Amino acid sequence: MSFLCSLTETTIIIRSVLIVAILLSIAAAYYIYLPLPCTISEPWKLMFMDSVLRGVMHVSFLAHGLGLTIRVTETSFGGVQAQVFESTAADQEPHLKRGVVYFHGGGWTLGSGKMQTYYLQCWSMAEELDGVVISIEYMLAPEARFPDQYNEAVQASKHILTAEVLSLYSIDPKRVAVSGDSAGANLAAAVAQQMALDNSDPIKFKVQALDFNTPSYQQNGHIPILHRLLMARFWLEYLNGDPRLVTSLLANNHTTPTPSQEIAAAKAKTVWTKLLPVAFQKNYKPLLEKLPGLLDVRAVPLLADMKVLKAVPPAYIMTCEHDVLRDDGLMYATRLEEVGVDVTVDHYEDCFHGCLSFAFGPFGFSVGFRSFRNCTRWLKVNL
């Protein structure tokens, strides 16, 4: 009798476990699945990665001592924290190296150069270029608001572009680049503009490598990794805007019937119907997204005057088809080309926002590695 009771209890437990497992599997599939364009690279891997990032936002650190060709140190430049990745492959034959000042992404509110993806990216870039990559740890919102991040980016760059610092790391003063992805690309472009005009600094950046409401905001509003709603919230955090404005910002209800002269001038520099190739305009209608800080060129390098754009160094701009920021990069490239700046646009039809950061690590994507490889190839030739 006791044997039959025990068997019945075991059966009930097994059935319960199976039912729970099935329900959890259904729930997980529902949470992970997102309808994605058929042209996007490795959709299931992207869905899984996006679900993990949505569920858990954490910073992972890579243990030191992964190899012998890169030396990593933590220091500060002008009071701004940074990690320095130095190639030591040719230390037996001292020579001047390429240098890259890098700003990580994360919507000015998240991220760190110490995150595994950025750590590996900077490590690999230093190794590929046989150079020195300096990853800047600028302050983040909400503890810091615009223009704090911009000021720190400029402050660190000015300190790095001194003969003393460049000599310390054996960096060739004629071969220094500024680079970044997403919000970091925004900072890199703004820094490049400021440093190009600053006559007090004789050493300038040689090139800039950038990975950036337009058609792409509408087309890719719900595509991982950067959703349109999240981007709007990032802007409000960065510019210290009222969080309640997010609905109006997305609905375009915050604009005034009679724009001021300043707004009209800003709009004239961002007319995507003029700046974007027809293939990217598709059937979308213009939207104006207004916030006081969005009229500040330090926050929106795309608004820079022609005389400023003429002074910036040659640019490599990477854009992704399935990215809300696609058109920001394409329009900035067009504005640079219009004033005669040498621009290389590297567009990926199967790419999503931030894929360059997923070239390495547990969520490595083939398109991420492909974009990283092409970017470093361009730097090798042009830096």
Catalytic residue set: 182, 323, 353
Sequence-ordered list of residues with C-beta below 8 angstroms from that of 223, at least 6 positions apart, any chain: 36, 37, 40, 322, 323, 324, 352, 353
Q: Which residues lie across from 103 on neighbouring strands? A: 136, 180
Helix, strand or coil, per DSSP, at residue 328: helix
CA dist., res. 46 & res. 232, Å (int): 22
Q: Which residues lie across from 180 on neighbouring strands? A: 103, 210
Classify residue 292 as exposed, middle or buried by CB count within 10 Å of its CB (0-12, 13-18, 19+): exposed
Classify residue 84 as exposed, middle or buried by CB count within 10 Å of its CB (0-12, 13-18, 19+): buried
Is the distance from CB of 310 to CB of 281 less than 8 angstroms?
no
Angle formed at CA 148 by CA 247 and CA 71, multiple of 5 degrees: 115
Q: DSSP assignment, residue 61?
A: B
CA dist., res. 182 & res. 120, Å (int): 17
